[in-house]
Amino acid sequence: MAEKKKMLKVTYVRSAIGYNKKQAKILEALGLTKLNQTKLLPDNASIRGSLFHVKHLVVVEEV
């Protein structure tokens, strides 16, 4: 039986205004453009690295 791919449920909960502009670009690259927006993203090293830089702006749950 094939294993399910792990996913991360990422919710944008805090505005990037007042923070480094690079963090706003990271959010945009992840597909998060509006507050309280939720995305399902694959659980891999590049996504986790991006989320590490904006961990104070998002809530992450494993699905």
Q: And the tokens for 58?
A: 């998002």
Domains of the chain: 7-62 (3.30.1390.20)
- pTM of structure: 0.89
Q: Could you read off the pLDDT tens digit of each residue along the chain, which spans 63 residues?
A: 567 789 999 999 999 999 999 999 999 999 999 999 999 999 999 999 999 999 999 999 999
Q: Is the Cβ–Cβ distance between 39 and 30 less than 8 Å?
A: yes
| Cβ neighbours around 13 below 10 Å, total | 14
Going 16 to 17 to 21 to 25, the CA torsion angle's sign is positive
- Residues 46 and 29: their CA atoms lie apart, in Å, by 12
What is the CA angle 54-25-57, rounded to 5?
25
